Amino acid sequence: MADADSRSGQVYFDGRILDWCDRTHAPHDEALQRAFEAPARAGMPPIHVAPSEGKLLELLLRMVGAKRVVELGTLAGYSALRLARALPEGGKLWTVEFDPRHAEVARDVIAKAGLAEKVEVCVGRGVEVLPTLEAHGPFCVVFIDADKESYDVYGRWAARHVRPGGLLLGDNSFLFKNLLDDSARAAVMRRFHEEARAHFDTVNVPTPDGLLVGLKR
C-alpha cells in the first residue's frame, strides 16, 4: 500500500521500500525477532513499534547518553529491548505494562535476551505506577506508547521528571489519523502536543503514525 503526502498528493513510499529499509538499516537478530513475534505467539495485539522505529528509539537514546529511562506501554517487550540495548553498564529501564499477562510475556522475552538486570517490568496503570518511580529520577528519556487517553498526564509527568537535555518520545502522535477529530481522545492528544512544546523543543517525526520527539530545555 502506498502512502501519499497529504499536501501534494505525491506518493513517496510503499511497503516494499519500508521492508527494504528495515532489512538494510534495522535488521533483527534472534532476540529481536523473538520479541517481534511474541505478540502473535501469545495471542496479543501486534501493536509494537516497527523495526525502523525501534532502531530510531535506540539511536536517540544513544545520542543523549541515556542512563535512566521510563517506558509506558511494554506489550511483549520489543521496544523495551531496543531501549535497553542503548543503555550503558549500570543503566536502567523501567517499563510499565497494564496487563499482567503481557508483562509476563515481556519478562520472558527480556530474560532470554540477557537484559533482565537492566529492565524492570512494572505492572499497573501508568498514572498509578509513575509516582512510585519518581525517587529514581531525574530520567534521561520517557517513551510513551500506552493508553492514548492519558497522554497529556504522561507528558506533564515527563516535563517534571526528565532532566535538561533529556528526551520525551510519544508514539502514535497522529492518533491513527484521528488527531484533528472532534473527540475527547483527540483533544487529549492535541493537548499532549501543545503542552510538550511548552517544556521541550519539539518536532513530530512523520512515521506511519507519528512520533513526537522533544528535547528538554
Give tens-digit pLDDT for 65-97: 999 999 999 999 999 999 999 999 999 999 999
| Count of helices and strands (H, E) across the chain | 8, 9
Whether 36 and 26 have beta carbons less than 8 Å apart is answered as: no
Q: Which CATH number fits domain 8-216: 3.30.360.10, 3.40.50.1820, 1.10.3720.10, 3.40.50.150?
A: 3.40.50.150
- Break the chain into its structural domains and give their ranges: 8-216
Q: What pLDDT score does 1 carry?
A: 40
Report which DSSP code applies to 48.
S
Give the end-to-end CA distance of the chain in Å, rounded to a whole number.
39
User: pTM of the full predicted structure?
Assistant: 0.94
Whether 132 and 161 have beta carbons less than 8 Å apart is answered as: no
- Res. 4: pLDDT tops 70: no
CB count in 10 Å sphere of residue 92: 16
Residues 87-142 pLDDT 10s: 999 999 999 999 999 999 999 999 999 999 999 999 999 999 999 999 999 999 99
